[in-house]
């Protein structure tokens, strides 16, 4: 046996010197279910979000605006939907007007792609690195997050800040949903509840973020010297425990809010007003 | 109540080996280690197995049971189905010595590479005063029993032998975090070292270490991710980096 060659060809659990076992894993449980579900939900979300981002219509029904298109900052936004002006005008490539959703979606996309929880979820399910614990991954080489492009995951905090700005805007959208289609305050519809729930889930997702936990107090050495930040840190730490749950709920919440607005805007359903 | 169970136990050494079938009695309330001991006493007199406390506190009996890294003394026989074949192998991330016993010296080498606690120079023995809230984060990490199940399951080295030289592993990330969060530790470049020398950046936070830790230490959430954020503070965040140069912030934190 040419030990050197075997060493090179066989790494991981098949490395020379380790117990000679030919199976990649001896797990007997259904370890592949979790990654499969993750792929299923992500792929469905991506398909739906892509379709909606390019649909360029049915995203506004006074006073409801879809979270995919808010804030709508382009001159091609449908009338009344550009609550914050149209600073980016109407950009187009090859004669095609760029959907106003795209300028906005980069931020939540970046936020979620660099999220510590989602990283775990997609590294496991899409990249199979590893597919599940103690299940050998298929890759020959592995450098983790030490090089480009994955070293950019360290920029999560910038997306976190951008996410806070978007949360404020989406909260504003939920507040103006207390108007009726004629613009009078003091009304409430199913759409109001949908947008309120969406904003709440997004705040919980941001508040439970690991970067939030670090910023609010985690980076301190001496908690006793910063009692207020310590208190805030304990609260965020409790929320942080449920960060994966908030990640899923807010993802589904945002898709549902968009779907609801789409149904109303396209006339498929009427937005029921309680008062 | 005694029942007969089917087991497959890996036997061999660093050159060769295989899974061997045995049928053995298991009594009510027993753990996998009890049954392994019965196999040793009745059928395989020379079966090598490492153990010590039988109470989940010494970290010696780490093996893989049905493919999962676990403590043999804390795995109840009752957790398996009646007709299930229970497969027991040595840890698959480390070189095997004999049967269920592996050579875990990698971990002791890594332990020596972590710079130790550095108290303030003028602090005399017995003078240190700290408040509970300042040490409680570190205390979670002190629960570690050094079973190295986290090290064994971590795909960075389990699946890539060549990474062993540049990766300390989750057990030592909690050690680094413990010291970096310690109010009296004066060593100021732990974060940089964590990233540059101990391979913190290799971890992709997939949380297998947390899943297997018998002490339920939240390794990834409470040590690795906070350390990654601390590394960003000093290495990848231009705003904070500038701030620390101007105000020498780290000292007052
Ligand atoms: S979270 Fe990091 S250290 Fe823990 S097992 Fe996964 S890759 Fe290894
Ligand atoms: S951190 Fe947990 S799994 Fe790792 S060595 Fe310590 S007790 Fe074992
Ligand atoms: S949003 Fe998930 S960790 Fe920041
Ligand atoms: S024998 Fe001590 S932990 Fe199992």
- Cα(A152) to centroid(ligand 3), Å: 14
Pocket test for ligand 4, best of B49, B56, B70, B100 (most atoms within 8 A of CB): B56
Percent helix, percent strand, percent coil in chain A, to nearest 5: 55, 5, 40
| Nearest-by-CA chain A residue for B66 | A27
Q: How large is the average pLDDT for residues B210-229? A: 98
Least confidently predicted of B40-49, B164-173, B220-229, B232-241: B232-241
Q: Hey, which residues does A196 pair with through a beta bridge?
A: none
Give a yes or no: residue A275 inside a domain.
no
Q: Please count the other Cβ atoms lying within 10 Å of the Cβ belonging to residue A46.
A: 11
Q: Which domain holds residue A194?
A: 23-139+153-266
Cα(A10)–Cα(B117) distance, integer angstroms = 39
Tell me the backbone φ, ψ of residue B167, rounded to 5 degrees: -135, 120
Which residues does chain A have with pLDDT short of 50?
A: 1-8
What is this model's ipTM?
0.93
Tokens 């006493």 correspond to what residue? B41
> What's B224's DSSP letter?
I
Give tens-digit pLDDT for B159-211: 999 999 999 999 999 999 999 999 999 998 999 999 999 999 999 999 999 99
Structure confidence at residue A10 (pLDDT): 78
Q: Which of B84, B94, B208 comes nearest A133 by C-beta? A: B208
- Arithmetic mean of pLDDT over chain B: 95
A254 half-sphere exposure, CB direction, 13 A CA radius: 28
A200 half-sphere exposure, CB direction, 13 A CA radius: 6
Cα(B110)–Cα(B118) distance, integer angstroms = 18
Give a yes or no: residue A255 inside a domain.
yes
* Nearest CA residue ID for atom 8, ligand 2: B147
Structure confidence at residue B249 (pLDDT): 55
> What's B55's DSSP letter?
S
Structure tokens at B9: 């136990």
Structure confidence at residue A1 (pLDDT): 36
Cα(B175)–Cα(B180) distance, integer angstroms = 9
Structure confidence at residue A9 (pLDDT): 52
* Nearest CA residue ID for atom 3, ligand 1: B170
Closest CA to A266 of A75, A91, A64: A64
Structure confidence at residue B153 (pLDDT): 98
CB pair distance less than 8 Å for B68 and A11: no
Pocket test for ligand 3, best of A211, A236, A244 (most atoms within 8 A of CB): A211
Closest CA to B167 of B228, B95, B214, B113: B113
Give a yes or no: residue A12 inside a domain.
no
User: Which chain B residues have a beta carbon less than 8 Å from that of A142?
Assistant: 155-156, 159-160, 163, 202
CB A74 within 8 A of CB A122: no
Instruction: Give one DSSP letter per residue of A117-180, joined into a string.
Output: HHHHHHHHHTS-SSSSTTS--S-S---TTSSTTGGGGGGHHHHHHHHHHHHHHHHHHHHHTTS-
Pocket test for ligand 2, best of B110, B219, B224 (most atoms within 8 A of CB): B219
Structure confidence at residue B243 (pLDDT): 82
Global pTM value: 0.94
- As for how many domains chain A has, the answer is 1
> Which residues sit with their C-beta closer than 6 Å to ligand 3?
A 115-117, 156, 160, 209-211, 243
Give a yes or no: residue A253 inside a domain.
yes
Tell me the backbone φ, ψ of residue A56, rounded to 5 degrees: 55, 20
Residue, of B63 and B252, whose pLDDT is higher = B63
Give a yes or no: residue A8 inside a domain.
no
Give the start-to-end residue ranges of the domains of chain B. Answer: 2-102, 105-240
Tell me the backbone φ, ψ of residue B68, rounded to 5 degrees: -105, 130
CATH class of B105-240: mainly alpha
CATH number, domain B2-102, options 3.10.20.30, 1.10.275.10, 3.40.50.2300, 1.20.1200.10: 3.10.20.30
- Cα(A173) to centroid(ligand 3), Å: 23
- Mutation target for A interface from B6, B204, B219, B253: give the one with most A CBs within 10 A: B204
Structure confidence at residue A90 (pLDDT): 78
CB pair distance less than 8 Å for B229 and A25: no
Residue B127 scores a pLDDT above 60: yes
Q: How large is the average pLDDT for residues B83-107? A: 98
CB pair distance less than 8 Å for A142 and B202: yes
Closest CA to A205 of A163, A157, A266, A154: A163
- Cα(A261) to centroid(ligand 3), Å: 27
Structure confidence at residue B250 (pLDDT): 53
Give a yes or no: residue A262 inside a domain.
yes
Crossing angle of helices A116-125 and A100-113, rounded to 10°: 80
Residue B252 scores a pLDDT above 60: no
Structure confidence at residue A7 (pLDDT): 43
Tokens 């599940």 correspond to what residue? A132
Residue B100 scores a pLDDT above 90: yes
Q: How large is the average pLDDT for residues B209-225? A: 98
């Amino acid at each position: 046996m040419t030990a050197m060659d075997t060493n090179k060809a066989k790494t991981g659990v098949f490395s020379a010197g380790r117990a000679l076992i030919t199976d990649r894993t001896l797990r007997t449980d259904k370890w592949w279910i979790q990654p499969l579900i993750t792929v299923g939900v992500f792929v469905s979300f991506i398909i739906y979000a892509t379709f909606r981002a390019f649909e360029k219509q049915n995203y506004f029904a006074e006073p409801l605006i879809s979270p995919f298109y808010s804030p709508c900052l382009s001159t091609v936004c449908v009338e009344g939907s550009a609550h914050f002006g149209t600073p980016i005008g109407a950009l187009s490539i090859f004669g095609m007007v760029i959907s106003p959703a795209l300028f906005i979606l980069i931020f939540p996309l970046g936020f979620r792609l660099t999220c510590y929880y989602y990283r775990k979820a997609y590294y496991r399910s899409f990249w199979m690195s590893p597919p599940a614990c103690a299940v050998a991954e298929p890759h020959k080489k592995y450098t983790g997050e030490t090089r480009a492009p994955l070293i950019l995951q360290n920029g999560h905090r910038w997306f976190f800040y951008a996410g806070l700005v978007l949360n404020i805007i989406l909260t504003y959208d939920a507040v103006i949903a207390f108007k009726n289609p004629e613009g009078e305050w003091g009304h409430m519809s199913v759409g109001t509840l949908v947008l309120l729930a969406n904003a709440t889930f997004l705040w919980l997702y941001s508040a439970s973020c690991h970067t939030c936990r670090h910023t609010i107090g985690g980076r301190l050495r001496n908690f006793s010297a910063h009692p207020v930040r310590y208190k805030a840190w304990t609260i965020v730490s409790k929320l942080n425990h449920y960060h994966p749950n908030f990640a899923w709920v807010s993802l589904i919440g945002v898709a549902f809010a968009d779907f609801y607005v789409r149904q109303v805007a396209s006339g498929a359903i009427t937005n029921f007003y309680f008062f | 109540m005694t029942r007969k169970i089917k087991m497959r136990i890996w036997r061999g050494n660093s050159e060769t080996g295989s899974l061997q079938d045995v049928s053995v009695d298991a009594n009510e309330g027993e753990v996998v280690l009890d049954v392994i001991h019965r196999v040793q006493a009745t059928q395989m007199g020379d079966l090598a197995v490492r153990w010590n406390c039988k109470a989940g506190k010494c970290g010696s009996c780490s093996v893989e049971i049905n493919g999962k890294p676990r403590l043999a003394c804390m795995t109840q026989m009752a957790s398996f189905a009646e007709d299930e074949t229970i497969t027991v192998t040595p840890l698959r991330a480390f070189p095997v010595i004999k049967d269920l016993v592996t050579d875990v010296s990698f971990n002791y080498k890594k332990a020596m590479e972590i710079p130790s606690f550095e108290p303030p120079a003028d602090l005399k023995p017995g003078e240190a005063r700290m408040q509970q809230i300042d040490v409680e984060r570190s205390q979670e990490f002190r629960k570690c029993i050094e079973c190295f199940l986290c090290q064994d399951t971590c795909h960075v080295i389990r699946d890539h032998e060549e990474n062993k030289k540049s990766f300390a592993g989750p057990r030592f990330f909690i050690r680094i975090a413990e010291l970096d969060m310690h109010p009296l530790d004066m060593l100021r470049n732990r974060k940089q070292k964590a990233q540059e020398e101990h391979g913190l950046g290799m971890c992709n936070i997939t949380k297998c270490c947390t899943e297997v830790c018998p002490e339920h230490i939240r390794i990834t959430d409470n040590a690795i991710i906070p350390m990654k954020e601390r590394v960003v503070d000093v290495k990848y965040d231009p705003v904070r980096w500038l701030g620390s140069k101007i105000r020498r912030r780290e000292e007052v934190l």
